[in-house]
């Protein structure tokens, strides 16, 4: 299988949120998410069956997580969102770029986020 290299930080133009699936296996899914300043739709909350480890690689963002204080993120910040913990993206900068790793977490051994 030839090795293929692509780039995560290349500028993605557009005016709505764009999600690119970089890898998908039965157990793990990796996505690049370009926010273009968009928040989650009004009243919308994510309630995901899988855990999500997510890092903001560029820009800034504000997350709302049910039962938690407001989470403000700057470039490089990462966190683990357990499965079914309701959350929404309240605000993002125009250049916000995320890398998200979704996985099943029934057997989580440790987390140092």
46 near a copy of itself, judged by CB under 8 A:
no
Member of 14, 16, 27, 49 binding a copy of itself (CB under 8 A): 27
Burial of 52 (0-12, 13-18, 19+ CB in 10 A): buried
Q: Which of 1, 9, 7, 21 is nearest to 59 (CA)?
A: 9
Cβ-based nearer residue to a copy of itself, 41 or 76: 76
Select from 2-10, 39-47, 88-96 the region that touches a copy of itself (CB under 8 A).
2-10
Tokens 């290299």 sit at which residue?
5
Q: Which of 83, 86, 59, 81 is nearest to 72 (CA)?
A: 59
Q: Minimum Å distance from CB 41 to a copy of itself? A: 22
Q: Is residue 64 part of the contact set for a copy of itself (CB under 8 A)? A: no
Closest CA to 39 of 20, 59, 17, 60: 17
For a copy of itself, which residue of 33, 61, 96, 101 counts as binding (CB under 8 A)?
Answer: 101
CA gap 17, 26 in Å, rounded: 25
What does the binding site for a copy of itself look like in residue numbers (CB under 8 A)?
Answer: 1-10, 20-28, 30, 53, 55, 57, 65, 68, 71, 73-82, 99, 101, 103-105, 107-113
């Amino acid at each position: 299988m030839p090795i293929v290299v692509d780039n995560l930080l290349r500028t993605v133009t557009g005016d709505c949120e764009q999600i690119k699936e970089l890898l998908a296996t039965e157990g793990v899914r990796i996505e690049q998410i370009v926010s273009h300043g968009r928040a989650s739709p009004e009243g919308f909350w994510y309630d995901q069956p899988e855990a999500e480890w997510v890092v903001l690689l560029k820009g800034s963002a504000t997350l709302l997580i049910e039962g938690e204080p407001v989470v403000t993120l700057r470039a490089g910040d990462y966190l683990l969102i357990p499965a079914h913990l309701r959350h929404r993206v309240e605000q993002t900068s125009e250049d916000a770029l995320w890398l998200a790793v979704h996985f099943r977490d029934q057997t989580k051994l440790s987390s140092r986020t």
